[in-house]
Amino acid sequence: MIFRIRMLRRANADFLSIVDYIYQRSPQGAAAWVEAFENAKSRLAENADGYSEADENDRFDLDVKQALFKTRRGRIYRIIFTIVEDEVRILRVRGSGQAPIEPGDV
């Protein structure tokens, strides 16, 4: 099954914030990060239900999953999402060291 991908407002803000932060240090690094993110989204579209629960899942009333992806330098990022019918709703995008999300963070 192919899932549609929808980034929610806070996830989009996370995306832009991360890209801006990396771009200030390395425009090439930001482009590579966007490519890694887009590849992760493509994998989600193909197999979203195959990913594991997010660490925060027990804090929510819905099933919250995570997709991990990393940069060439090995930094790990998480796409936190839920599945509603045939749609993947990306709730947040988090980098390593960022606090877990709470229901009010979505």
List residues bridging with 12 in a β-sheet: none
Mean pLDDT by 10 residues, the chain (106 residues): 95 96 95 96 95 92 94 90 96 88 77
Q: Considering the domain boundaries, does residue 34 fall inside one?
A: yes
Please give the residue range of the domain that contains residue 17.
4-98
Is 106 part of a structural domain of the chain?
no
Q: Is residue 32 part of a domain?
A: yes
Domain count across the chain: 1
Q: Give pLDDT, residue 27.
A: 96
**Is 103 domain-assigned?**
no
| Residue 93, H or E segment | strand 87-95
**Tokens, residue 18:** 């991360």
Task: List the CATH number of the domain containing 14.
Answer: 3.30.2310.20
Whole-model pTM?
Answer: 0.92
What confidence tens digit (pLDDT) does each residue in 13-29 have?
Answer: 999 999 999 999 999 99
**82, two tokens:** 């839920």
Residue 83 lies in a domain: yes
